[in-house]
Copies of this chain bind each other. A is one copy, B any other.
Amino acid sequence: MVEEVKQEGITVKKSEDFSEWYTQVVLKSDLADYGPVQGTIAIRENAFEIWEKIQEVFNKMIKDAGHRNAYFPLQIPESLLKKEAEHFEGFVPEVFWVTHSGDNKLGERLALRPTSETIINYFFSKWIRSWRDLPILLNQWCNILRAEIKSTKPFIRNSEFLWQEGHTAHATENEAEKEVMMILNFYKKIAEDYLAVPVLVGKKSEREKFAGAKYTTTIEGMMPDGKALQLGTSHNLGQNFSKPFDIKFVDKDKKEKNVWTTSWGVSTRLIGAVVMTHGDDKGLVLPPKIAPHQIVIVPIYYKENERKVVLAKCSKVKEELSKKSFRIFVDDRGGYTPGWKFNEWEMRGVPLRIEIGPKDIKKKQVVMVRRDTSKKTFISDISLIKKAEEILNSIQKNLFVKAKKFLQEKITAVNDYGEFKKILEKKNGFIKAGWCGDNHCEEQIKIETGATIRIIPMKKEKMFSKCVYCGKPVKDVVYFARAY
């Protein structure tokens, strides 16, 4: 007999209380749990394996393009962090400071890296002498520490998170520019082709750019509550760091020049975007390409004498499907009913469930249930691989198409500030509007509505001729939104 085991699903609807829904999904599907220090989390294995997939995909992209991974120290002396003034100003409010080791007070305070431009440029200045040493194309996967006090949210905003940060040094401005754009494209590809999260691509305004950058490019997603989520940034740092850090090389023309640097990063925030974008009232829905388990096989038997045959068939089906190296889990655990298992794996977002019972064995079939639409199909044993592949591809595509449609519906073009505010109140989302390029208008809009410029499109759009705030001639048509 199967004994009762407590099971509590998601108890709020995504459409009713999005914030509470998100927290429940993250905690109940064992993606993360709160740490003892404010704003910290444990990234549990179900989430970490998504991160491992992202690492695999991104490593392939950057390594094929000549980058290599390395690792730099976590602790940055205060004097080093201060070398680029704008950068220091931007990060210092959220820096954790190490002041002691054992019982000893340190001679100088050490910052825990809020980002690694300063420490890495310290090394660049030791390593770069000649044009022969360039380009330097490095990346590191590491933890990042930023003291977040307000509105922390698992994966979205934490005092510690994981990311990759690329840091490159080039002989020419043009090369650095190409690097920034290439990486931005990789980021778009990861978001859209793997996570099925559609993004807008563009530049940040001066106000929103990375502290110390010449300019920042970004990919920006739209969450179900109408708030934008910055998902990755690729910065052209110009010579802003290479000058204070004195990173010079002798070029082929024998002249000494400062290098041009870039930096870029995506973080475990991507996992939060996946949860928010695809999840439903039953819990998580994972895109097959990054799901730790793509297929779960649930044996169905109620009598002990059925058990052996059903489990044997499950193994056989797994073996057959393994030919295509799907990531499969056979849930042969005792002590849980099939129904309990269905709920559990739905909450955990496994894209495809296969059910196998005595009747199915007789009919030489299995039951396939896709997570995104709940559609149930009977599949004959001979077309297992073909159908599993079809369904997984279809889920991957469907999730993206649905999210893309949502994103597009959430873009409203407005020419009038009254309308601007009304739309924000009504449905949030991206507001496409004219902007004169003046810092003051951007600032006022932020104060009055909470919306900021999320992206300035790469290609100039000519939809409006007047700034939505001041009415002066437009410099750019931009996308505003409230954001995480």
Residue A5 at the chain B interface, CB threshold 8 Å: yes
| Nearest B residue (CB) for A102 | B93
Residue A382 at the chain B interface, CB threshold 8 Å: no
Q: Is the CB of B40 within 8 A of A75?
A: yes
Q: Is the CB of B48 within 8 A of A71?
A: yes
Q: Is the CB of B98 within 8 A of A102?
A: no
Q: How many copies does the complex hold?
A: 2
Q: Is the CB of A37 within 8 A of B75?
A: yes
Q: Is the CB of B77 within 8 A of A119?
A: no
The interface residues of chain B lying within 8 Å CB-to-CB of A41 are 73
The interface residues of chain B lying within 8 Å CB-to-CB of A110 are 37, 96
Instruction: Identify A96's interface contact among B43, B48, B101, CB under 8 A.
Output: B101
The interface residues of chain B lying within 8 Å CB-to-CB of A94 are 101-102
How would residues 67 to 102 of chain A score, 1 for a CB under 8 Å from any chain B CB and 0 otherwise? 011111111110010000000000011111111111
Interface residues on A, range: 35 or more
Residue A451 at the chain B interface, CB threshold 8 Å: no
| Nearest B residue (CB) for A130 | B5
Main SS class of interface, A: mixed
How would residues 316 to 336 of chain A score, 1 for a CB under 8 Å from any chain B CB and 0 otherwise? 000000000000000001010
Q: Is the CB of A73 within 8 A of B162?
A: no
Instruction: Identify A71's interface contact among B5, B42, B72, B74, CB under 8 A.
Output: B42
Residue A132 at the chain B interface, CB threshold 8 Å: yes
Residue A160 at the chain B interface, CB threshold 8 Å: yes
Instruction: Identify A40's interface contact among B68, B73, B126, B162, CB under 8 A.
Output: B73
The interface residues of chain B lying within 8 Å CB-to-CB of A97 are 98-101
CA distance A299 to B171 in the complex (A): 26
CA distance A45 to B119 in the complex (A): 16
CA distance A119 to B160 in the complex (A): 14
Question: Taking each of A97, A101, A103, which has the highest tally of chain B beta carbons within 10 Å of its own beta carbon?
Answer: A101
The interface residues of chain B lying within 8 Å CB-to-CB of A119 are 35-36
Mark the stretch among A15-23, A139-147, A190-198, A385-393 that contacts chain B.
A139-147
| Nearest B residue (CB) for A93 | B102
Q: Is the CB of B96 within 8 A of A98?
A: yes
The interface residues of chain B lying within 8 Å CB-to-CB of A122 are 35-36
- Indicate whether A160 sits within 8 Å of B74 (C-beta atoms), given known contacts A5-B132, A95-B102: yes
The interface residues of chain B lying within 8 Å CB-to-CB of A333 are 132
The interface residues of chain B lying within 8 Å CB-to-CB of A33 are 123, 126-127
CA distance A98 to B99 in the complex (A): 6
Residue A138 at the chain B interface, CB threshold 8 Å: yes
| Nearest B residue (CB) for A292 | B68
Q: Is the CB of B70 within 8 A of A45?
A: yes
Residue A52 at the chain B interface, CB threshold 8 Å: yes
Q: Is the CB of A36 within 8 A of B77?
A: yes
CA distance A37 to B93 in the complex (A): 22
The interface residues of chain B lying within 8 Å CB-to-CB of A75 are 37, 40, 96, 145, 159-160
Residue A112 at the chain B interface, CB threshold 8 Å: yes
Report A108 CB to chain B, min CB distance, Å.
Answer: 9
How would residues 122 to 162 of chain A score, 1 for a CB under 8 Å from any chain B CB and 0 otherwise? 11001100001000001000110101000000000001101
Q: Is the CB of B73 within 8 A of A35?
A: yes
Residue A44 at the chain B interface, CB threshold 8 Å: yes
Residue A225 at the chain B interface, CB threshold 8 Å: no
Binding site for B on A (CB under 8 A): 5, 33, 35-37, 40-45, 48-49, 51-52, 68-77, 80, 92-104, 109-110, 112, 119, 122-123, 126-127, 132, 138, 142-143, 145, 147, 159-160, 162, 333, 335
Interface contacts beyond A42-B123, A49-B68, A100-B109: sample of 12 additional A-B pairs, CB < 8 Å, sorted by A = A36-B119, A37-B77, A43-B71, A43-B72, A45-B138, A48-B68, A48-B70, A48-B71, A71-B162, A74-B145, A74-B160, A96-B110
